Every structure is written in structure tokens, then in C-alpha cells.
Amino acid sequence: METDEGIIEGYLSELAEVLINIPRKPLLEIAGALKKARMDKRHIYVFGNGGSAATASHMACDFGKNTRMAAKPNLRVMTFNDNMPTFSAFANDEGYDVVFSEPLKSMAEAGDLVIAISGSGNSPNVLNGVKAAREMGLTTIGLTGFAGGKLKDAVDICVVVPSNRIEQVEDVHLVLDHLLTIILMQA
């Protein structure tokens, strides 16, 4: 059995390696898309399940509050994860697979932006949200891990965290939230 010290050292070393290997090009593309959405006063919708839902909420908070600048428009960002009455009504009445796509159809307009977060890249409700977004003319961004799942090919821009460990994928998604927030604070 591995010692606590060994677990700590191993996890942090692996995480450092994953961070070093994050692809840079999609990050630059995402930053550009977010800056454009800001200047065009477009809405940004962020969603995910489980730990990814928590990241989506965190990202919406960071983008909405921490990126405000006197000389630039505020980011118009929200997540469907935080409205439990609407979320659970769709899940109960129409199925869990539509909890993101149906509210998106009611709220979004062509030119808006979606950030879909799924560790595996295979969450049906996230994929359905992306499908609806693409049909409506939204820019779609994915944050995933493992091999990218179906999400990788379903979005315009995708960051696939190079890890097969969900904990590290979720760690990096939160790092990417903070990295993008810092970029938007200075943009």
C-alpha cells in the first residue's frame, strides 16, 4: 500500500506533467472568442454535469465578476446548472438529456457562445446542448479530457486535457477557468 507521502508526490507530479502538456493553440482561440463575445455584447452560456457543473458555475462567476473593466463591456455569462427549478423541471418532464439544449433554445441567439464542459466528452445532455448551439449558429467551445470523447469533434474549439484521470481533468478545467479569467482581466 502506497504511503500518503507517495500519493501526494505522485499526484502532484502527474498533474504538473499534464499542465505542461496542455495544447496552447486552442487556448489562444478560446481567449479570442471570449474577447469577441465581450466586444460584441454576446451572451456566453457555460454548462456541465457533476464536477463539471461546479466548474461551469465557478467559471460563470469568475467571468461575470472578475473580468469587469471600466473601458470594456461586461461579459454576459450564465450557466443553466444553477437554476434548479428549471433544470429539474426539464429533467423530470422531458428527460435529463435536454436540461441544457431546451433552455439554450429559449435564451440564446446566433452569435452567442457556449462553453461545454465534460470530463469524458460523452455526456448526452452536454452533447445535446452543443448540437442545439451549433444548429442556432453559436460558437461552441469544449473542455474535456481522456481522448476527448464525442465532444472533441462536436465543437468549434476544444481543449482536451491530456489525462485519463478524472480528478486531474477536473483540476485542469478549473485552472483553465482561472487562466482565461486572467486573460480577460487584462484584455
| CATH number, position 45 | 3.40.50.10490
Counting Cα atoms < 13 Å in the Cβ hemisphere of 58 gives 20
What confidence score (pLDDT) does residue 187 get? 72
Q: Is 27 exposed, middle or buried (0-12, 13-18, 19+ CB in 10 A)?
A: middle
| Per-residue pLDDT band at 167 (split at 50, 70, 90) | very high
Report, as an integer, the average pLDDT of 139-149. 98
Q: For 61-85, what is each residue's pLDDT tens digit?
A: 999 999 999 989 999 999 999 999 9
E strands within the chain? Answer: 43-48, 76-79, 113-117, 139-144, 157-160
User: φ, ψ for residue 10 (rounded to 5)?
Assistant: -65, -45
In contact, 106 and 129? CB cutoff 8 Å: no
Domain residues for the domain of 104 are 4-186
Counting the structural domains of the chain, the total is: 1
| Per-residue pLDDT band at 1 (split at 50, 70, 90) | confident
C-alpha cell at 40: 460584441
